[in-house]
Amino acid sequence: MKIISYSILNTLANRWAIGLLLLALFSCNDANEESLAATDSLSPTANYEIKGKVVSEKDEAIALPNILIEIIIEKPSLHIDSLYTGNDGGFDWSRPITTFNETASFSIAATDTSGRYEQKRTSISFTKEEVSNAASWFLGEGKKEITIKLREKE
């Protein structure tokens, strides 16, 4: 009888402990948009936005929706995102990244899938001074605009 009552008490105590831990976990999240990303990843994040336009050497917008933009996050970790330009040659990319207050570096490649223009690679980086509006787990946001000039193939 003593063995049974001890195991029942032990089981009940474990369930209460798990319940209290779950309650504490869910109460840590204030459920607004900015805090959700931080509590989901359990790492401080910053939002980075890169807007750009692809133009010819004559500074004319390349009005082809088939310019592939590859944004390669080089630092703090390697990740590749791809998107196409719009009909006006513009593109807009944004993403939250865990940086731990380091410099975030990106390599951007513009490739004309029709084969009319040569591929162009460029780099862009954000220092921690270029990231603003930090609050709690949210390290802030950085925005940059870039113009990529493509040369016609000969």
Task: Write the CATH number for 58.
Answer: 2.60.130.10
Residue 71, CA distances (Å) to 45, 47, 92 in order: 18, 15, 11
Same domain, 128 and 103: yes
Same domain, 26 and 46: no
Same domain, 46 and 11: no
DSSP states of 58-114 as a string?
A: TS-B---TTEEEEEEEEESS-EEEEEE--TTSEEEEEEEE--TT--EEEEEEEEETT
pTM: 0.67
Same domain, 75 and 129: yes
Same domain, 46 and 87: yes
Same domain, 23 and 92: no
pLDDT (tens, 9 = 90+) of the chain, 154 residues, equals: 555 676 776 787 778 778 777 776 666 555 444 444 444 456 788 899 999 999 989 888 887 667 788 888 877 677 888 888 888 889 999 988 887 667 888 899 999 888 889 999 999 998 888 888 878 777 889 999 999 999 999 8
Same domain, 95 and 120: yes
* Range(s) of the domain holding residue 19: 2-30
User: How many domains are there within the chain?
Assistant: 2
Same domain, 92 and 144: yes
Same domain, 45 and 93: yes
Tokens of 141: 């946001």
